[in-house]
Amino acid sequence: MHLSENEGIEGKAFVVTGGLGFVGSALCLELIRRGAAEVRAFDLRPSSPWLHVLKDKGVLCIQGDVARKEDVGRALRGADCVFHLASFGMSGKEMLQFGRVDEVNINGTCHLLDACLDLGIKRLVYCSTYNVVFGGQQIINGNETLPYFPIDHHVDPYGRSKSIAEQLVLKNNARTFKNDAGNRLYTCAVRPAAIYGPGEDRHLPRIITMAKLGLLLFRIGDQTVKSDWLFVDNLVLALILASMGLLDNDPSKGKRPIAAGQAYFISDGSPVNTFEFLQPLFRSLDYELPKTSLAVDHALVLGRICWGVYTILYPWLNRWWLPQPFILPSEVHKVGVTHYFSYLKAKEEIGYVPMVTSREGMALTISYWQERKRMTLDGPTIYGWLFCVIGMISLFCAAFLPDIGIVFFLRAISLFVFRSMWMTRLVFLLAAAAHIIEAIYAWYLAKRVDPSNARGWFWQTFALGIFSLRFLLKRARK
């Protein structure tokens, strides 16, 4: 393609589905920067961390559901190009909500295609996924000639639904408009690798939370396993170039835009082992990655167990108190099986070359997470919580409650350790007093070094004592 930097953007109106999300908001801001006349962020969420920035830059935020045809029609009317980023079920508990996954990813895509054909919108860029061709088999330097992974063999509804949706998008390429037979809808699909960057809100927060709690117990697969990663700015660039590729008339292709009906793999171009890739980030946050490895077959057994347990808990999947599953089968494949792809086709046809290297992207991500850690409470692993909370409760029961049920055994253990009830009660009272004194000290220290979290430091130190206070002291030294 030989187009100017802002070809097809200046003076045009755009709709970004999922526009309040991590990638969607970055795309909206880049379109504004490049001179778009109007950018609409169409999203089910009423708010997000990027909402105020988007509104300040002039992005029109429209709340609606892609699964509702009337919402889609209202959001797309008058647009010149649509970027379809909205999806559901990529990771965690969402993966098990089969009905909602199909409703958003398949039905929502159908509604968008219908609206584009009804309203005369000429360009649709679909944000797809590697999973349309990958389902657990090894792929080394794959390309777009690979066939779709068999629909019935996908281990999760997300990959299956995204595959169906992508095929629908590409099969609707070059369809004539319903009320204007002289013009056509041109479509293409961008298949990104695992996305990362400052503010990413699906994968890294979950992994980092598990590391903080000490629940990252093992690696999956060996160190030779490699996969692709993609910095958010590189994905935004690829999406914009793909939209330009739907404008580029090439006479050798019968004047059809070069990207029309095409799919493109997009990555940073540096396949790497997932755990090695995350090592600098975890080291910068003082978290440790596990050294022991679990074979893929064994990890799949654990993933299937988690899948079964959370399937039983299906009615409560949306409840805040139900934690994310430890791991699921498709996640085992993503980190435990080599699969990476070439972006050569995207380079040759739409001019995509990563503008941010993996090293630069990780440096920016590390800075973001270090700042985020400074703004939040830090604390011990879940094992420290269990030891301290259960220990104090057990000691209280043994010291003061009557010999009923489990108290009898707790008292027996206390008497074995402390030799007398008098000493057991004294130890509990001294420990409780220490917790109170440490909590008060934490309150005053936090007022100086971390005032926004002073109350949190007080209550956490009241519950955990020195197990919490040592993290605040470390922060004060810095």
126 a catalytic residue: no
For residue 360, the SS3 value is helix
Choose the catalytic residue: 130, 158, 196, 343. Answer: 158
Is 97 within 8 Å of 88 (Cβ atoms)?
yes
- How far is C-alpha 95 from the chain's CA centre? 12
d(C-alpha 32, C-alpha 12), whole Å: 10
Q: Which amino acid is it at 254? A: G
Beta carbons within 10 angstroms of residue 293's beta carbon: 17
Kindly state the DSSP code that residue 476 receives in the 8-state scheme: H
Confirm if 236 and 195 have CB atoms less than 8 A apart. no
Residue 38: how many other CB atoms lie within 10 Å = 17
Beta-strand ranges (E) seen in 178-286 are 180-192, 194-196, 219-220, 229-231, 249-250, 256-257, 263-266
Sign of CA dihedral 315, 317, 319, 325: positive
Rounded-to-5 percentages of helix, strand, coil across the chain:
50, 15, 35
Q: Of 142, 104, 44, 102, nearest to 341 (Cα)?
A: 142
β-pair partners for 293: 219
Q: Are the CB atoms for 205 and 143 separated by under 8 Å?
A: no
Q: Please give the Cα distance from 261 to 36 (Å, whole number).
A: 24
DSSP state of 104: I
Query: E strand or H helix at 35, and its extent?
Result: none
Could you give the CA distance from residue 365 to residue 370 in angstroms, rounded to a whole number?
9
Q: Hey, which residues are catalytic here? A: 158
